[in-house]
Every structure is written in C-alpha cells, then in structure tokens.
Chain A
Amino acid sequence: MVMINKKTIILKVLSVLFVVIIWQILSSSQIINAHFIPPPLEIAKSFILTIQSTEIFKDIYVSISRVFVGFLMGAVIGLIFGVITSYSAVLRYLLSIWIEFIRPIPPLAWIPLAILWFGLGNKSAIFLVALGSFFPVYSNTFEGVIALPKKFVDTAKTLGADSKLIFLEVVIPAILPYIITGLKIGLGVSWMIVVTAELVGTTSGLGYFIQLNRILLQVDKVIVGMIVIGLIGLVMNYFISLLEKYFSHWKIINTDL
C-alpha cells in the first residue's frame, strides 16, 4: 500500500488541473461543441446549483441505501458459501457447478427477470446488487480458506489450541485479507450495478437522475450526476481501504520495509 505523501497529492492535483484547464480552453475557443459537452465552468456552476437545490441528495440517499442493503446481503451469502464450499468437498461440487455457471452471466442480463419478479424499484435494484457482490466475496473467501497454510493450524495444535481458538485467532486472521479484497471488489461492483439498474429499472436514485436529465437535454446535469457517482465511489473505496489497513497491517508493514 502506497503511503499518502505530499508528492502523490501534488501530482494528482496537477493532473486534474491540467485536464480541466485544457478542456476549458478548448471549450472557450469553441473547438469543443458545448452541446456535446459543456465547459468545466458551466458544469461547476450547475454542480453548485444542484447541491444548493438539494434535489440530488434524495437520489444519493436512495442509491446508497440500495447498495448498502444489496451489498450486505450479497456479501453475507458469499461469505457463508465461501466458507461452506471450502470446508466440505461434497458441497463444493454440488454448489460450484451452479455458481460457475451463473457467474459469467452479467448482472445486467438479469434486469428483465428482476423487473418481472420484483417490479420497477427498490427490490429489483437490491436484487441485482446482491447478485453482483456475491461472486467476488464468495470466490475470495473460498480462496482464502483454501490457501490457509496447514502449517499454522498444526503449529497452533502443538501449542495446545482447541478448535475455537484456532478458528478465532488463526483461521480468521489468515483469511481476513482475502475477505476484505472480496468486499472491496464487491462494493465497487455494487456501486456500478446500482447506477446501471437505476437507469432502466427505477424512478429514483442517481442512475435515474442521469437518465431524467438526458431526456430533459440537460447535459450539464448529466455530467454533475456522473461526477457525484464517481466521488461517492472514491469515498467508498477509501473506507474499505481503511478497513484493509486495519486488518492486514501486518502484511502492509511487510511491503513497506
């Protein structure tokens, strides 16, 4: 994990400024058509207006709560399946054929079925998010348990540990980094899915916000919506990274030395 230092921040800020300034110059000199994509200053103005009118906060809230519920469901089920299939070979083969078959079907291909089953709205979106976040959490958990070195369990046994202590202090810490990787990927996927699902299957949320403004021909607001989606994704990723840092600090220390 790269430490946040001055140099990286400066580089990032420079990169953003560079692109925005060039873009503004190209727009002002009318090389870029404003109907195609509005200039940054106009987007900034629209951004402030949108925030001030607070209309977007309801959509943000709706999208985030859909991700929250769907991701939680998908992650918990993925976790349970991951542990079960790594411990029992019989269950592994019974379940894995289905999991491997369903995995390559993009969650978005489920939209028609989701709408058929759950109608337009919350439930559909939550279902799709749960589906999408299940797979990364499942496969990473599975891999973590499989990769757990037998030597650590043996060592714990020669120290006298019972299975409870082994599970809590050997198995869990050893597979936690894998699980967190799964959660990280799963959350990223969830956020993408929720927005996409809202484009077609709902009448609220950030995806709907974009879609509505497209129909109203308000390109600036479409872009504001996209920026908000990107920012929230960044923040989510940041929080998961904190979690990652906390639970696998012993790994991070290793690479920093």
Chain B
Amino acid sequence: MTKTLEISNISKSFLSNYRRKNVLNKVSFSVNYGEIVAILGPNGCGKTTLLNIIAGILKPDDGSVIFNNEEIIHPSWQRTMIFQELNLFPWKTSLENIVFGLRAKGLPKKEAIFLAKSQLKLLGIENFSNYYPNQLSVGTKQKVAIARALALEPDILLLDEPFSSLDMQSRELFQEDLINIAKQRKQTMLIVTHSIDEALFMSDRIIILNGSPAKVNAVINLAASPNRTPRYRNTQQFSKLKNEIWEILRSKD
C-alpha cells in the first residue's frame, strides 16, 4: 500500500489570554490511498486543529505534513475539507456553492454547472438547488457541503465531525450514504469524530487521539474492511470492538 498522507511529529500550541496552551503533541500517522481513516477523540482535544493543519490553513509549530511526496504549504482542493460548521457561502444557493468549488478547482463554468447538478442528484437534494443555506434544514445543508467537497474528487477528503448536528437516525442514514459513495469511488477519507460508533462504522482504521496536549494513543486496524450494511451495527463483532475502544479511552484518561 502506498501512502498519500504522512504526518510526522506535528505539534501545535495556541496563545490565549497570554498563556501558551499546547494542543497537539508530536502527532504522527499516515493514510494510504483508498483508505478511510477515523480520528477519534473527545471534545476539545484538538481534532479540528489537526485537520486545519492538514488542509493547510493552519501552520504547525513543529513537524511535517507530507502529501503525495511533497511537503504541504498551501491549501489545495486535493485535500479539501468539510468543515465542522459546514461554511456554506450564505450568499450562494446550493447549486452555486457547488459550482463555486468546481470553478475554484479550475473547471469551465458550463462543465461546473453540469457536474454540480449531477452531484446534487447523487445526494438526492436536486429539489433544493436554488435554495440559499438559510432556507435549508441542517441535514440538507450537511448534504450540500458534502456534495461541494465530493464534486471536486479530491485525493483525500477531510471531514470534521460531518454528522454531529444530526439526530441518531439521520446520522446513520447519512453515514451509510456517504460510505457507499466513497467505496464506489475509492475515495480516500480522513474523518474526525468523537463518536465511537461513527468511527467503527465508517473507517478501516481508527486513530485515537487523547490527552492534553493530545497525542496518538492507539491505532486500531479494523482488519479485513467490514461489510458496512446497517446490520453491521448490531453484530457481535461491532459491540466487541466498541468495548475494546471504550477500554482504551478509559485507561488513558
């Protein structure tokens, strides 16, 4: 397997109220092509900070991020991100938000519109094409943000707690939708989450981030990528893994 993303010894601290707060401490891991990796960590442990560094909108104090054999310096659509707060442009409709991404990537306008429309259809939200974000439900906004990022076909898709604002049922349905699309396209993904269930269901590998400052506490390989049908959530294998992860989280607290 070849690596697409390699993170080595990333450290990051923030200055707040004249105090230096260490958030990340020598975090290292890598992601292979086609792999879906989950980063699991409690609230406020630095998950968003880590993703921002990988996306290139934040500089680490120390360490390096190598992406496709090059040190990253700028943000790029090849490492595009679905933000925790989605960050849809409120002055653009669903369609325009997606078109913007495609044009930013460099596509001509006509092609961008065509692709954006098919992306809206893929996610079943074509009826909301001409709605502004303010007019959409949380779930639909979520889907527009996913569509905007997926449409770019990035080398790696970064997702920051993509489903955290959804209710239980919608969340599971969304997870299933996304995983199906991702598997079909062999889309490499790095998903940040604080939900063990989400990490287990979505990923091939779980990286547990914990402590203050946060570091990688454990890596769990979910050997032979599981069969992600809704039923998988109710299997013994699933609950056994869930317990194991709980044990790790408890013992490292």
Contacts and interface: CB of A to CB of B under 8 A. Distances in A.
Instruction: Answer yes or no: do A and B interact.
Output: yes
Interface of A: 151-152, 154-162, 165, 169-170, 173-174, 248, 250-251, 253-254, 257
Contacts of A169: 89, 92, 100
Contacts of A173: 89, 91-92
Contacts of B183: none
Given A160-B77, A165-B104, A254-B134, A151 B90 contact: no
Given A151-B85, A152-B87, A154-B75, A160 B57 contact: no
A147 B80 CA distance: 25
Given A160-B104, A169-B100, A248-B91, 7 more contacts: A152-B87, A155-B83, A156-B104, A158-B79, A160-B105, A160-B106, A160-B152
B79, B104, B105, B132: which has the most chain A beta carbons within 10 Å? B104
A158, A250, A254: which has the most chain B beta carbons within 10 Å? A158
B74, B83, B91, B152: which has the most chain A beta carbons within 10 Å? B91
Contact of A157 (B75, B92, B106, B152): B75
A101 B92 CA distance: 39
A160 B79 CA distance: 9
A174 B83 contact: no
The secondary structure that dominates the B interface is loop
B91 A159 contact: no
A256 to B, nearest CB: 10
Contacts of A152: 87, 89
B103 A158 contact: no
B100 A159 contact: yes
B194 interface: no
Contacts of B80: 158-160
The secondary structure that dominates the A interface is helix
A159 B104 contact: yes
Contacts, number: 74
B95 to A, nearest CB: 13
B39 interface: no
A173 B96 CA distance: 13
Contacts of B46: none
Interface of B: 55-57, 74-77, 79-81, 83, 85, 87, 89-92, 100-101, 103-106, 132, 134-135, 148-149, 152
Nearest to B105: A160
Nearest to B104: A161
16 contacts: A151-B83, A151-B87, A152-B87, A154-B57, A155-B87, A155-B89, A156-B100, A158-B77, A158-B79, A160-B76, A160-B152, A161-B100, A161-B104, A174-B91, A253-B135, A257-B134
Nearest to B74: A157
B213 to A, nearest CB: 23
A250 B104 contact: no
Contacts of A174: 91
B54 to A, nearest CB: 10
Q: Which 6 A-B pairs have the closest CB atoms?
A: A160-B77, A161-B104, A157-B75, A254-B134, A155-B87, A173-B91
A253 B104 contact: no
A6 B79 CA distance: 53
B55 to A, nearest CB: 5
A166 B150 CA distance: 20
Nearest to A150: B57
Contacts of A251: 90
A248 B80 CA distance: 28
B55 A158 contact: yes
Contacts of B103: 165
Contacts of A161: 100, 104
B89 A170 contact: yes
B81 A158 contact: yes
B57, B74, B148, B152: which has the most chain A beta carbons within 10 Å? B57
B177 to A, nearest CB: 22
